[in-house]
Amino acid sequence: MARNDIRGMQQTLRELRKFNPDLLKELKKDLTKQAQPIFADTAARMPEVAASQWGSKGRTGYSRARAIRGMKVSVRAAKRVKGIRGSYASINLTQSNAGGAIWDQAGSRGNYQPPRQRGLAFNAALTRSTGRGAQRGLWPSVVARRSEIEMNFRLSIDRTARIVNLRMQQRI
């Protein structure tokens, strides 16, 4: 699990939610704007047709356009993780489209055994179409730009924290 700590983020998000929800919306917009190069890199790797027998209709159908629209930035002030004491704030880049998530993650568990042999053929077809195994989408883009992302996100959060502090001092 990749983890980068940004001090003060959890407290800043909680204060934003209490005192100025509009500023929290601005932070989310700014983080989404910072994530656009990652989303563009991922979109460039997405095939028009992921697998020959995989349709584009229904909730789990693959459509490149819907998969691109499904990439989102999620900001949470408190997240609990098993094995870690307490909670922490998190920024997640997620694929909210079911077809896009299947394209991205299919085959990550491996060890397919009968009667699920269709899963093996499906994963092989996805690998042939993209040239990669599981973790085809957001993860390789994030790894390639990790230091840039961390710096940009940190600047956005620090800027927002300064605005919150100034507004809180003005209220006192």
| Residues in the chain where the model's pLDDT stays below 50 | 1
Residues 139-163 have pLDDT tens digits of 888 888 888 888 888 888 888 878 8
- Tell whether omega for the bond before 47 is within 30 degrees of 0, i.e. cis: no
- Residue 146 CA neighbour count, 13 Å, CB half: 8
pLDDT of residue 1: 44
pLDDT of residue 8: 63
Written as one letter, the residue type at 59 is: R
Interior/surface letters 41-72, b for 16+ CB within 10 angstroms, e for the rest: bbbeebeeebbeebeeeeeeebbbeebbebbe
Tokens 């085809």 correspond to: 136
Between CA 108 and CA 110 the distance in angstroms is: 6
pTM, two decimal places? 0.69
Between CA 56 and CA 61 the distance in angstroms is: 4
pLDDT of residue 114: 52
Between CA 127 and CA 85 the distance in angstroms is: 38
Distance, first Cα to last Cα, the chain: 41
Between CA 45 and CA 146 the distance in angstroms is: 18
- Tell whether omega for the bond before 37 is within 30 degrees of 0, i.e. cis: no
pLDDT of residue 86: 64
pLDDT of residue 80: 64
pLDDT of residue 146: 86
Structure tokens that stand for 143 in this block: 């790894």
